[in-house]
Amino acid sequence: MQKVQHIVPIWLEMDAHPRHVPWLRSFVQTYFKGGGVDISSRDCMKAQLALVEAFDNVVEHAYPKSRKKPVLVGLYLKGKTLHMEVLDQGRGPPQKKHKLPSVMSDHGRGLFLIYRLSSRVESKRENGWHRLHMRIRLGK
């Protein structure tokens, strides 16, 4: 029987500023190393890109005029599934199919990438917060 791994969930609160992007990228890798989980570089890159794209969307769309508003970021591992959540007090993304935008488009790649990189994505509003919950199956 295969051992199921769990890493203690961690929640971070930060302001919606792009300066946090490099730190978030490195935090994903640090999270796994700190939990003693051996993750492939491919899975780590998928998780980093999905999390950074979700955070970028908050910065650009949820709080376009204020960098001081709160963003909550959560990571936890259940078995072979990484759960990442990004919460903000914006209105959330449109509930439509996420297609690859035109090559000439400046915007629109974030949600497309999040959906392509994740095994499952849920987006909902609750108690004044928009919650984007991404799941990435590791080792696929």
pTM: 0.85
pLDDT value of position 2: 40
pLDDT value of position 5: 63
Q: Which two tokens stand for residue 28?
A: 């994903």
For the chain, which domains are there?
Answer: 6-137 (3.30.565.10)
pLDDT value of position 4: 45
The one-digit pLDDT tens for each residue of the chain (140 residues) are 344 466 778 999 999 999 999 999 999 989 888 888 888 999 999 999 999 999 999 998 888 888 889 999 999 999 899 999 999 998 776 665 555 555 555 666 788 899 999 999 999 999 999 999 999 999 87
pLDDT value of position 110: 84
Closest CA to 74 of 66, 82, 62: 82
Closest CA to 85 of 76, 98, 95: 76
CA distance 34 to 90: 32
Question: Which alpha helices (H) appear in 3-108, and where do they start and end?
Answer: 21-34, 41-57
